[in-house]
Structure 1
Amino acid sequence: MNLRRPLVGVAAAVALVAGVLAWQSMGSREAAPVVSYTLLDGRTASTESLKGKVVLVNFWATSCTTCVAEMPQIVATYNKFKDRGFETLAVAMSYDPPAYVSKFAQTRQLPFNVAIDNTGQIAQRFGDIQLTPTTFLLDQQGRIVKRYVGAPDFAALHALVEDLLKKG
């Protein structure tokens, strides 16, 4: 009995399914929601204004130990790519006291925009975010490329940002 033939058939079927799934995920990126937000300095902005850039949207809280621990890497990511069309928006959760968020941003000298989601609307629009950190990577067309729950693998994130910036 020749077992090779069925295995070749199974391998071909698996490869075909994997190829179709990869093609679907590449071609059908979901648009990020258009939301308005208020920054710590009082300015208002919208995710619409970020189109044309690769954007990291990070939902976080000062009470979240993983969020606090990953923030230096979020800063390093921003600093590495900011001159090439990359933006970061840190969205503090609605339960985070604004004074804590402001003090954190000031003492850590966060170099990117920080918004406080006072009403929870931003988290709701991004899929009812409950766990922090939750981070989204958006392409230049404002589509969600990747969603991370928990701290991302920053080396892989940097490679993905690099790839998106090259496609420009």
Structure 2
Amino acid sequence: MTRRAEIPEPVPAALNPPSPVRRRLLYAGVAGAAALGGGGLAWWRLQPQAPDSGAQQALWAMEFEQPGGAVVALKSFAGRPLLLNFWATWCPPCVAELPMLDAFYRAHSAQGWQVLGLAVDQPPAVRKFLQHRPLAFPVGLAGAGGVGLGRSLGNLTGGLPFTVVLGGDGRVRHRRMGPLSARDLQRWSSLR
């Protein structure tokens, strides 16, 4: 009895597992697509959104206690450009940009620019911080309410630092989520 060698039938390509190189390329492609999608979503969510209806008008009616006990009223800033910076002592990027904001204020206040820092922090921490690092521009104690105010002005994530630039007409002209750059300040300095 002779035995015939059986020739295996070809495996359809759909059932044939890909080579290790193809598998890695496939995984890399899927991972890349997921990263792009996630990065795009994160970028979109971190971009400042349009202010809530009526938020700009409500802003000008607000008052904040200052670390020294005096009160700063936003209406006192009306009529000139205002850079409103939300920050906290526990936020390293916030602390890092404060000297640049202070220099901007000192250099541009004669041209009508105003800067107001709104500390989204505990008052004792802000007072202690400002004793060691005084600022030329005023600081208001916004506390936890500062997060809600920031959200109403377009900071949906509540992240810090967050900066809003208002023109002399009182309307929001620019918003920036995250640390400022010298280029941002230079671009905004011509605003009136």
TM-score > 0.5, shorter chain as reference: yes
Q: Which residue of 2 is the match for residue 9 of structure 1?
A: none
Q: Which residue of 1 is the match for residue 88 of structure 2?
A: 61
RMSD: 2.0
Q: Do the aligned residues in 2 keep the contact of 1:105 with 1:114 (CA within 8 Å)? A: no
- Cα distance in 1 for residues equivalent to 2:149 and 2:134: 28
Q: Which residue of 1 is the match for residue 123 of structure 2?
A: 98
Q: Which has the higher contact order (CA 8 A, sep 6+)?
A: 1
- Following superposition, the deviation at residue 127 of structure 1 comes to 2.3
Match of 1:164, SS state, is: coil
Moved over 4 A (4+): none
- Following superposition, the deviation at residue 84 of structure 1 comes to 1.3
- Cα distance in 2 for residues equivalent to 1:104 and 1:112: 14
- Cα distance in 2 for residues equivalent to 1:98 and 1:67: 16
Q: Which residue of 1 is the match for residue 14 of structure 2?
A: none
- Following superposition, the deviation at residue 83 of structure 1 comes to 1.3
Give the TM-score normalised by the residue count of structure 1.
0.71
Match of 2:86, SS state, is: strand
Q: Do the aligned residues in 2 keep the contact of 1:38 with 1:115 (CA within 8 Å)? A: yes
Tell me which protein shows more strand as a share of its residues.
Answer: 1
Give the TM-score normalised by the residue count of structure 2.
0.63
Alignment deviations for residues 6-26 of structure 1 (CA, whole Å, 9 cap, x no partner)? xxxxxxxxxxxxxxxxxxx9x
* Bigger radius of gyration: 2
Identity %: 30
**How many residues matched?**
133
Q: Do the aligned residues in 1 keep the contact of 2:119 with 2:141 (CA within 8 Å)? A: yes
